[in-house]
């Protein structure tokens, strides 16, 4: 069967679109993997001053 220029272009476009869409979906589905996080230093809660008298007492927490 003879492949016309129009058919060839159409087939190429379909293949390219499928490739790009597949790659995009794969990228979306495969998350970037992290073991060590960025040392943020931006604590989202309130910061309190160090109480050195409290520091010298054993903690109320277990462990």
Partner 1 sequence: MDLQCELCPRQCRIPPGGRGDCRIRVHLDGRLHAVTYGHPCTVHIDPVEKKPVFHFLPGTPTLSLATVGCNLHCKNCQNWEISQRNPEEVEALALPPEQLVALARQYQCPSISYTYTDPVVYYEYTLDTCTQARAAGLKNILVTAGYINREPARELFRVTDAARIDLKALSDKFYQDVCGATLKPVLDTILLARDMGLEVELIHLVIPTLNDRERDLQQLCRWVAEHLGREVPLHFSRFYPQHLMAHLPPTPLATLNLARDIARAAGLYFVYLGNILEPDAATTWCPACKKPLVRRSGFSVLENRLQNGACPDCGKKVYGVWN
34: contact with partner 1 by CB under 8 A: yes
The Cα 38–Cα 41 span in angstroms is 9
Stretch that binds partner 1, among 2-10, 13-21, 34-42 (CB under 8 A): 34-42
What is the greatest pairwise CA distance in the chain? Answer: 90
Nearer to partner 1, 1 or 38 (CB): 38
Q: What SS3 state is found at 15?
A: helix
Q: Is residue 3 close enough to count as binding partner 1 by CB under 8 A?
A: no
Of 5, 6, 33, 53, the one binding partner 1 by CB under 8 A: 33
């Amino acid at each position: 069967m003879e492949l016309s220029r129009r058919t060839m272009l159409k087939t190429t476009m379909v293949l390219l679109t499928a490739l790009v869409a597949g790659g995009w979906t794969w990228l979306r589905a495969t998350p970037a993997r992290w073991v060590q996080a960025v040392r943020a230093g931006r604590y989202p809660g309130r910061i309190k001053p160090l109480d050195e008298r409290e520091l010298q007492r054993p903690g109320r927490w277990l462990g």
